[in-house]
Amino acid sequence: FDEAVSLRWAIAEGIDYMWPTTFRLVEEKHPPVYYTLLKIWHYLLAPFGLGMNDAALRALGSLLGVLTVVGVLLLATRISGRTTGLLAALLTALSPVLVWYSQELRMFQPATTFVVWAAYFLARAWQADSLRPRLLWWLGLVMALDLALYTYLFSAFMLPSAGLGLAALCVFAMLRHRSAQVHELRLTRRDKRYSSRETAQGTDSLS
């Protein structure tokens, strides 16, 4: 029944009616981004006679599932290295839940895709070395989060998660900076002690 509702909104209704109606969440409790994607996908398939083909329509979710795997690969590689990235991507690709939802004509898979890419953009924004790339990555984060929210309302749980992630990154950065300062101070003190000893030894030898 839920998939039939998706088809009705995506195929039977026009954009001029679908967006105002779904955006207000009155007649339909889900936002309009997924229905818009499905409508575009339907238009692309229609010239080939596949506009109402079940497998062809479900292929949209499969393609978004592939994008999810790619996003997880890039995110985990960026954070923890290539081996971790490959393992995370493999587990994502073999996840029964994600495989199941990638075959459904519902908004859960695209919402997952947008959330994963939002997390990737967040990681890139944090690690950017200069202002311009950082602003571009932040813009990507905002756009991905907007798409996720207008696809599935429960994507809002990503917002506090992103905030906690940023807070953790800030704390780790402060601790790392503090540790580097302490290490540098210890090296400076050690060098001063060695210098004092060498000076004292030189004075003794002269005397």
| Segment 153-177, tens digit of pLDDT | 888 888 887 778 778 777 877 887 7
Q: Would you tell me the crossing angle of helices 158-206 and 108-127 to the nearest 10 degrees?
A: 20
CB 22 within 8 A of CB 15: no
Q: State the DSSP code for 129.
A: S
Residue 159 CB partners (closer than 8 Å, separation 6+): 145
**Greater pLDDT, 113 or 30:** 113
Given a cut of 60, is residue 207 above it in pLDDT? Answer: no
Instruction: Over range 1-9, report the average pLDDT.
Output: 76
Instruction: Over range 182-193, report the average pLDDT.
Output: 74
**Greater pLDDT, 191 or 103:** 103
Question: Residue 85: what pLDDT?
Answer: 96
Which H/E stretch holds residue 13?
Answer: none
Instruction: Give the HSE-up count for residue 187: Cα atoms under 13 Å, Cβ half-sphere.
Output: 6
Q: Nearest Cα to 68, choosing from 14, 144, 8, 126?
A: 144
Which two tokens mark 57?
A: 């329509």
| Segment 100-159, tens digit of pLDDT | 999 999 999 999 999 999 999 999 988 888 889 999 999 999 999 999 998 988 888 888
Split at pLDDT 50, 70, 90, the class of 198 is low
Question: Residue 206: what pLDDT?
Answer: 54
CA–CA gap between residue 146 and residue 144 (Å, rounded): 5
Can you give the residue ranges of every domain in the chain? Answer: 2-156
Question: Residue 175: what pLDDT?
Answer: 80
| Segment 55-112, tens digit of pLDDT | 999 999 999 999 999 999 999 999 999 999 999 999 999 999 999 999 999 999 999 9
Q: How many CB atoms lie within 10 A of CB 174?
A: 10
Which two tokens mark 145?
A: 């989060």
Of 8-17, 55-64, 184-193, which has the strongest mean pLDDT? 55-64
CB 22 within 8 A of CB 35: yes
Q: Nearest Cα to 103, choosing from 6, 32, 200?
A: 6
For the chain, helix, strand, coil in percent to 5 are: 85, 0, 15
Given a cut of 70, is residue 205 above it in pLDDT? Answer: no
User: Considering the entire predicted model, what is its pTM?
Assistant: 0.78
Question: Residue 168: what pLDDT?
Answer: 77
